[in-house]
Structures are given as structure tokens and as C-alpha cells.
């Protein structure tokens, strides 16, 4: 057994340029599920300096921890990377029926709508998700919807097929719902991690709604929009002096779509039916753009085609009800079949905000229906980080990455297991939410707020 000595001087030097609130800590005697190349490490140690993971050691590498480093004995508990939630409304909604800051119905603002400007770090839903081990999330805009039924509500009556960009039964003017962003869930005034990580576009019924009522019309409209963007890029000055033909999009939307047509920003395609999935893949090939599929309840039917195209998929593996004709082929084995075909899968929670915390249960159900455990773990950690371009800093327990860590009472996919500690960039997070505070307040009615009754 080799003993590695880590001096306090070295720790101090390494922490000089890191956030002041980040802790120098060592988590020892842990069952570490790294979600990275190291796989599972039994009885391991994680060393964190200034918010970064600096060492992950197995039992054959005993560490001599320097004075001043907080030592946390996990006592055999499981430690995972912080979970990364894809396709959420976190930070942009409180009560869905009262509206949100992720939908816009403005003919001048579609692709240019950017969710980063609507984020609320004080949202009461963020601590709820954080208590279940979620440390980062991808916030995605939704298409505007009309005054009919709200089958995509998220206030405790969530339809499982609620996905980014779905248009409900609206007649929105915008082909594009807007740009997604990655956030962190730590306490603080600025939760933005990375803006402009994808352009949300509804397809299928949602796309037909925004394009005049037919799927084919949407594809034609999208091709025309991309042609306008390329024409605009060739001579922007001509646009300002009205020296070009009339373009269907506003200047702000044209500018926002430049990274998409250049392949730097992916389209996040909200799509369900296999025929529509194939149409999206064909459209992406013809336009030479990158695509992420969101929803894809019938994705298993085209799993090999999706894998061959190198297209990742964000799914709720519990969606198995044919709620519409777009999902007649929905199955609980969707995640397993996609993964087996070589598709990179990210698993989301059952709803965009209030039930995001259920993503770990969904991952467990995916395992129950055939997905390997390690693949399901990656689907809620490393895969979404890779899909949205932040895997260099989060998604797995590896030296050099941010110390987003969760200590669990048991298997993180078991509903009865709970997080006992959550760290984001090495900072210990409060293990409370508005719900737990209300619970504690009213558990003892004779407690801090006694009621004086007349005698």
C-alpha cells in the first residue's frame, strides 16, 4: 500500500485562485460510483481542494491528510457525482398554472429568446431538486401555447410526455422556442453556468401547430428559415440598408440562428413519433446541423438510425402510455433499447420542475427494464454533461473536475435512499427546502408559533 502525503501548504497554494467558500475536504471510506473511466471504487477517498477534485484514491492508496482539511468519514456510504437534470423549467417557474418565464409568443422573438435572462436563483423549486442530489440542470424554453387544455401542466398533474418545445394546442408564430442554458443549483445570486447550449424546436404535432397545421409545412418553413440565415450571413450590411430580399425572420432571430447553421449550437428537437424522428434526422443531414432528440418515445424503433447519426436522446423512461397518436409505440424498454443500440441517452425527471427530483427513480426503472446500472448512472450524470458541452468540468468524479458530490444513505436509484450531503464546487449545500421548513414548523404546533386560546 502506498501512502501519499498531501501538505497543507500545497492545499493553500492550490486554493488561492478558487472561490473563498469552497472547502478543502476529504471524503473517506466511501463506495464511489465515479461515472467515469475508474468505474466503481470500493472503500475509496476523494480529495477536494478549492472546489476541485484533486485525487480519487482506492484502498491501495492511503492518503495522509494534512491538518486543516475537513475529513468526512462516509462509513461505507455511496458517493456519486451530482446529478445533471436535462429538460427542466428550474429557475423559471413556480406554479405552472400561473405561467412561467420560458414561453414567448412574439413574431419578432423566437430563436433569439434566451432563457438566461429569466433565471431566478431564489426559486423555491431549486432546493427541492437539490435535496435529491441534483446539482446542475439544463433549462429549456417551451413553445407558446393557446387557450385550450393544458395537457403539459407541471403542477402535480404532469403528462409524462411533457418535453421541451412542445406547443400544446397553440398557434404560435415562432418556429423556434428559444435557447437553452445550463445552471447550477447552489445557493447564490448567479446560477448561470453556460448559456446558448441548444436551440429548442418543436416537431411532430407541436411543429405542425407553429407552421400552419401540417408537419410537412414545418420542414419547408425551417428550410426557408435556414436559407434566410445563410443569405443574411453572406451580407449583413445589405440587410441594414434594405438591400436584400424580404426575409421571414427578424434580425435578432437571424443572428441567433447563425451558430445553428454553422454547427456550433445543436437543435433540441422535441419529437415523439418514429416517422417524425426520421424526418428530423433527414432534415439534420440535409442542412448539416447538429441535433439532440427530446422525448423520442418511439425512438427505439429507429434506434440504429439514431445511433448511426450520432444523435443523443433525452427521454423519460417511464413514458409508456399512448397519450396521443404520436406515442402509440411508447414502451418502458425505450431507454434500454436505445442504449443497447449505441445511442447516448440522458434520463430526465417526469416533468419540468416540480418532479425533476424523480429522475433518479426513473433511472432505477430503466435498470429494471433492461438498462445496465452503469449506463443508467451515466444517463443522469456524465451523458447530459457531454450532450450540453460541460463534461470537462462536471458529470463524473475525476481529478480536475468541479467537486459536485452527493453522499447517499443507500443506492441512489432506490426511492427510500436519501442524500445526506450535497456539495457543489466543493461547497456544502443546505439540506433543507421550503417543504422541509414547513414540515418542521408544523410538526409541533406548540412550538415556535404557539396559538393562545381563551380559557
Mean pLDDT over 427-452 rounds to 80
What's the CATH code, domain 83-394? Answer: 3.20.20.140
**Helix or strand run (H / E) with residue 182:** strand 178-184
- Range 24-43 average pLDDT: 96
Q: How far is CA 176 from the centre of its chain?
A: 19
Mean pLDDT of the chain: 86
Residue 104 in contact with residue 59, Cβ under 8 Å? no
Q: What is the mean pLDDT of residues 11-38?
A: 74
Cell triple for 168: 400544446
Average pLDDT over residues 6-18: 41
The residue to which cell 428559415 is assigned: 225
For residue 6, pLDDT beyond 70? no
What pLDDT shows up at residue 165? 62
What pLDDT, on a 0 to 100 scale, did the predictor assign at position 152? 40
Q: Note the helical H segments in 241-302.
A: 251-261, 274-287
Task: Grade residue 422 by pLDDT with cuts at 50, 70 and 90.
Answer: very high
Is pLDDT above 60 for 406? yes
CATH of domain 1-82+395-434: 2.30.40.10
* pLDDT, average across residues 332-350: 97
Show me where the domains of the chain are located.
Answer: 1-82+395-434, 83-394
Record the cell numbers describing residue 408, joined without a space.
447517499
pLDDT value, residue 212: 81
Q: For the segment 185-231, what is each residue's pLDDT rounded down to a tens digit?
A: 999 889 999 999 999 999 998 888 887 888 888 999 999 999 999 98
Average pLDDT over every residue of 31-54: 96
- As a whole number, mean pLDDT of residues 69-84 equals 96
Q: Give the tens place of pLDDT for each residue, 290-328.
A: 999 999 999 999 999 999 999 999 999 999 988 888 999
Q: Is residue 266 a contact partner of residue 291, using CB atoms and an 8 Å limit? A: yes
pLDDT of the residue at 14? 43
Where is pLDDT greater, at 248 or 446? 248
Going by C-beta distance under 8 Å and a sequence separation of 6 or more, which residues neighbour residue 349?
A: 85, 88, 316, 355, 356, 357, 358, 359, 362
pLDDT at 255 over 60: yes
Identify the pLDDT of residue 240: 67
- DSSP per-residue codes, 256-273: HHHHHHTTSS-EEEEE-S
Query: Who wins on pLDDT, 65 or 450?
Result: 65
Phi, psi of 397 (to 5 degrees): -95, 95
Least confident of 53-57, 77-81, 106-110, 172-176: 172-176
What local confidence, expressed as pLDDT, does residue 120 receive? 93
Where is 225: in which H helix or E strand? helix 215-234
Q: Which residues contact 165 (CB under 8 A, 6 or more apart)?
A: 140, 141, 142, 143, 177, 200, 201, 202, 203, 206, 268, 269, 270, 294
Amino acid at each position: 500500500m502506498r501512502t501519499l502525503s498531501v501538505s497543507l501548504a500545497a492545499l493553500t497554494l492550490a486554493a488561492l485562485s478558487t472561490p473563498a467558500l469552497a472547502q478543502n475536504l476529504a471524503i473517506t471510506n466511501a463506495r464511489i460510483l465515479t461515472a467515469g473511466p475508474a468505474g466503481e471504487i470500493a472503500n475509496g477517498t476523494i480529495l477536494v481542494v478549492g472546489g476541485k477534485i484533486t485525487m480519487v484514491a482506492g484502498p491501495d492508496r492511503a492518503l495522509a491528510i494534512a491538518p486543516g482539511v475537513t475529513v468526512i468519514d462516509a462509513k461505507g456510504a455511496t458517493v456519486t457525482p451530482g446529478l445533471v437534470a436535462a429538460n427542466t423549467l428550474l429557475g423559471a417557474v413556480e406554479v405552472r398554472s400561473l405561467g412561467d418565464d420560458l414561453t414567448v409568443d412574439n413574431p419578432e422573438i423566437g430563436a433569439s429568446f434566451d432563457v438566461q435572462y429569466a433565471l431566478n436563483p431564489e426559486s423555491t423549486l431549486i432546493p427541492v431538486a437539490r435535496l435529491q442530489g441534483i446539482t446542475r440542470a439544463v433549462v429549456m424554453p417551451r413553445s407558446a401555447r393557446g387557450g385550450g387544455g393544458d395537457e403539459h401542466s407541471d403542477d402535480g398533474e404532469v403528462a409524462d410526455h411533457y418535453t421541451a418545445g412542445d406547443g400544446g394546442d397553440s398557434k404560435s408564430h415562432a418556429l423556434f422556442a428559444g435557447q437553452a442554458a445550463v445552471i447550477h443549483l447552489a445557493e447564490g445570486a448567479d446560477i448561470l453556468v453556460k448559456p446558448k447550449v441548444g436551440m429548442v424546436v418543436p416537431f411532430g404535432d407541436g411543429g405542425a401547430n407553429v407552421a400552419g397545421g401540417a408537419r410537412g409545412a414545418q420542414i419547408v418553413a425551417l428550410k426557408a428559415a435556414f436559407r434566410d440565415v445563410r443569405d443574411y450571413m453572406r451580407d449583413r450590411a445589405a440587410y441594414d440598408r434594405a438591400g436584400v430580399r424580404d426575409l421571414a425572420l427578424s434580425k435578432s432571430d437571424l443572428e441567433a440562428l447563425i451558430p445553428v447553421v454553422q454547427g456550433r449550437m445543436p437543435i433540441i428537437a422535441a419529437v415523439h413519433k418514429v416517422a417524425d424522428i426520421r424526418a428530423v434526422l433527414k432534415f439534420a443531414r440535409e442542412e448539416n446541423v447538429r441535433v439532440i432528440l427530446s422525448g423520442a418515445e418511439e425512438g427505439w424503433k429507429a434506434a440504429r438510425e439514431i445511433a448511426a447519426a450520432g444523435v443523443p436522446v433525452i427521454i423519460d423512461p417511464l413514458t409508456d402510455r399512448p397519450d396521443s397518436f404520436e406515442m402509440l409505440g411508447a414502451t418502458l424498454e425505450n431507454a434500454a433499447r436505445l442504449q443497447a443500440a449505441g445511442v447516448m441517452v440522458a434520463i430526465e425527471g417526469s416533468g419540468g420542475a416540480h418532479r425533476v427530483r424523480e429522475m433518479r427513480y426513473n433511472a432505477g426503472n430503466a435498470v429494471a427494464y433492461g438498462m445496465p446500472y452503469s449506463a443508467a448512472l451515466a444517463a443522469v450524470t456524465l451523458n447530459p454533461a457531454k450532450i450540453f458541452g460541460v463534461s470537462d468540468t462536471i458529470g463524473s468524479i475525476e481529478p480536475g473536475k468541479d467537486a459536485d458530490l452527493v453522499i447517499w444513505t443507500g443506492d441512489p436509484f432506490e426511492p427510500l435512499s436519501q442524500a445526506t450531503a450535497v456539495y457543489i464546487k466543493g461547497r456544502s449545500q443546505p439540506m433543507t427546502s421550503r417543504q422541509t421548513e414547513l414540515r418542521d414548523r408544523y410538526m409541533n404546533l406548540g412550538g415556535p408559533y404557539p396559538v393562545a386560546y381563551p380559557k
